[in-house]
Amino acid sequence: MTTAIDATGVRKTFGRTVALDGLDLTVREGEVHGFLGPNGAGKSTTIRVLLGLLRTDGGDVRVLGGDPWRDAVALHRRIAYVPGDVTLWRNLTGGEVIDLLGRLRGGLDPARRAALVERFELDPTKKGRAYSKGNRQKVALVAALASDADLLILDEPTSGLDPLMEAVFRRCVAEERDRGRTVLLSSHILSEVEALCDRVSIIRQGRTVEAGTLSELRHLTRTSVSAELAGPPDGLARLTGVHDLAVDGNHVRLQADSDRIGDVLRVLVESGVRSLTSSPPTLEELFLRHYRDEADDEAGAAR
């Protein structure tokens, strides 16, 4: 067994809304997998399918070797989950909820629980209604991290945490990975994904548009080049793989597909290079490109 989650061609519709439209997701055992996509892309829906809370309309899903719908109870002993929106029972304290959720999963480690409560600076004696959003999230995080689950499924777990707590969260996830746990982390915080994730999947409108390690993905992206030339450039516009070309006298700015950078340099050298800066693609740009394509698609569809 080397895959913790293996989903292929998953479809899920809510009435007329197609939430998942042939989604693929592979998470290997022991990795931290980033799960990204714009609002409404279907991340939470996918996670709810993986937990057997929703039934699919098509496709295959295996989680830890089992069928998440049929084997839900058995699988859930090995899965810990932090929802994106944590709602607590108003008359239960945070400490009680942590213990309850842990016991529902088959128990949690009291020493780890105590350590995590300390690290997240959580007051476990407050009643559910008295917690802020971030503190509610901490309750769910402590319950999940203190358990002995093989697979952690975290749906935007840090959206309410302050930067200090966000750092604690990162250290905790790194420790979990070192202990051999598998983590599926849905997030909109790119620095968090970059810091934690071995591989990522990007989805859009219910479909997987990109999946791989971060360096593989970087490879697919564009390098920005800015150069001061001896004379006006020649032939750049004709090159495939050149985007957003801006020529201002002898000054050139452009984006080049990463596997075309050699061709671009050759053309630039022909005109004589005075100075050159090239910046490697950031994850930001990669995501923005995928996210923006959607906006473009929608604009196109609307027209």
Partner 1 sequence: MNAYAGTATLTRLAFRRDRVMIASWVIGITAVVLGSAKSFASLYDTPAKRASLAQSTNDNASLRAFYGPVFGWDGTGALTAWRFTVVGAALAGLMAAFIVVRHTRDDEETGRHELVAAGAVGRRAPLTAALLTACGAGLALGLAAALGLAAAAQDGAGAWVFGLGLAAGAAVFGSVAAVTAQVVETGRSARGLAGAVLGAAFVLRAAGDAATDDASSPLVWASPLGWIENARPYAGDRWWVLLAPLGFAAVCAVVAYTLAARRDLGAGLVAGRPGPPVGSPALSGPFGLAWRLHRGALAAWAAGFVVVGGVYGGLADSVADLVKDNQAVTDVITRMGGQSRITDAWLASAVSFLGLLAAVYAVQCVLRLRGEETSGRAEPVLAGAVGRTRWAGSHLAFAALGPAVLLAVGGLAIGLAHGSRAPELAGAALAQLPAVWTVAAAAAALFGLAPRATGAAWALIAVCVALGMLGEAIQLPQAVMNLSPFTHLPKLPGAPVELLPYALLTAAAALLGAAALTGTRRRDLAG
Binding site residues, partner 1, CB under 8 A: 44, 48, 51, 53-55, 72-74, 76-77, 79, 81, 83, 85-93, 95-101, 103-106, 123-127, 129-130, 140, 143
The residue (of 27 and 256) whose beta carbon lies closer to partner 1 is: 27
Give the β-pairing of 79-82 and 58-63: unpaired
Name the segment binding Mg ion (CB under 5 A); options: 40-48, 167-175, 240-248, 266-274: 40-48
Q: How near is the Cβ of 16 to partner 1 at its closest, in Å?
A: 15
CB 202 within 8 A of CB 36: yes
Q: Which stretch in 44-52, 146-154, 246-254, 269-277 sits in contact with Mg ion by CB under 5 A? A: 44-52
Find the helix or strand (DSSP H, E) in which 296 lies: helix 283-302
Distance CA 290, CA 273 (A): 32
**Nearest-approach distance from CB 117 to partner 1, in angstroms:** 8
**Angle in degrees, 0-180, between the axes of helices 110-119 and 163-178, rounded to the nearest 10:** 150
Q: How many CB atoms lie within 10 A of CB 15?
A: 5
Shortest CB 162 distance to ligand ATP, Å: 20
Among the listed residues 4, 7, 23, 43, the single contact to ligand ATP using CB under 6 A: 43
Binding-site partner at residue 185 among Mg ion, partner 1, ligand ATP, none, CB < 5 to 8 Å by type: none
Does the protein bind Mg ion through residue 44 (CB under 5 A)? yes
Question: Looking only at residues 135 through 174 of this chain, which bind ligand ATP when binding is defined by CB under 6 A?
Answer: none
Closest contact distance (angstroms) between CB of 177 and partner 1 is 21
**Site track 236-275 with ligand ATP (rule: CB under 6 A), x = hit:** ----------------------------------------
CB of 8 within 8 A of CB of 34? no
How many Å apart are CA 291 and CA 63, to the nearest integer? Answer: 28
Backbone dihedral angles phi then psi of residue 41, each to the nearest 5 degrees: -70, -25
Any idea of the CA torsion for 27, 64, 41, 19, to the nearest 10 degrees?
140
User: In this structure, how many other beta carbons lie within 10 angstroms of the beta carbon of residue 287?
Assistant: 21
Verify binding: residue 56, ligand ATP, rule CB under 6 A.
no
CB of 252 to ligand ATP, least distance (A): 38
